[in-house]
Amino acid sequence: MLAGLFPGLRRKKHPALLRNKELFENFNQGGLLSDYTFVVCDTELTGLNRRRDEIISIGAVRIVNLQIELSQSFHCYIKPRNIDPNAATFVHRITPEQLLHAPPVEEVLPAFLDFCGSGLLVGHFVAIDMYFLNKASRRVLGGMVSNPSIDTMRLAKGYKEAQCIDHFGGCDQSASYNLDLLSEEFNLPRFKPHDALEDALQTAYLFLFLVKKLKHGGISTLKELYLAGRIFSLMGRG
């Protein structure tokens, strides 16, 4: 009866999802940060309505030995189930016409999981990306993504708060943690906003900047990063 009411309960898990889950069954947080592969990703959406909206683009770059591997990237448009032909453009300047011939999420998501492999996912306000990735994964693959995730927005907030403590001053609670503004503040290379791959690159530079700063403060392992700021999330497990 429950299976009839909730068809997803009896969906057989996709091979890509099974491979993904196996990679994290004995996950160890105790290694040096340089020991891990990170996959910095960004999604573009039709909107932020969690019930109605969908992913229309995924971009990602891989970080190995705390260096961006520019030759290893992932970028794909995704045809959503519902395209509004009357919409001139979406907020990220992707038009409905550009999506008409894009592959569906059923094809893109397994390829994205294979690209991620054993990498830890990194994103700016990553909870939104993970929500929509898991929503799509449950629907088309039969389960949730297993890669743990790290949020550069929370990491940046922890770094700034630590600076306030170091200088015995009060923190500006109105400070913005917008990706573009943080990149400008930290004098990082700049990329075009509202493009999944370029936002992933922007986030990758921010992540490496923050990791370098935290390493100077004595944080060198993934577990220390977790304990320092609670920015390490296991929301993708399962």
Distance between CA atoms of residues 17 and 32, nearest Å: 27
Token match 């004995």: residue? 26
Distance between CA atoms of residues 156 and 202, nearest Å: 14
| Confidence at residue 224, expressed as pLDDT on a 0 to 100 scale | 87
Distance between CA atoms of residues 77 and 55, nearest Å: 9
| Confidence at residue 238, expressed as pLDDT on a 0 to 100 scale | 36
Residues 6+ apart with CB under 8 A from 221: 29, 30, 31, 32, 33
* Strands of 55-64's sheet in order across: 67-77, 55-64, 38-45, 120-123, 149-151, 232-233
Tokens, residue 131: 């929500």
- All structural domains of the chain: 2-233 (3.30.420.10)
Q: State residue 41 phi and psi, 5-degree precision.
A: -130, 160
CA angle 132, 16, 50 (to 5 degrees): 10
Distance between CA atoms of residues 11 and 126, nearest Å: 27
| Confidence at residue 61, expressed as pLDDT on a 0 to 100 scale | 98
Which residue ranges in the chain fall short of pLDDT 50?
1-4, 8, 88, 231-238
End-to-end CA distance of the chain: 24
- Put simply, whether the predicted model's pTM sits higher than 0.85 gets the answer yes
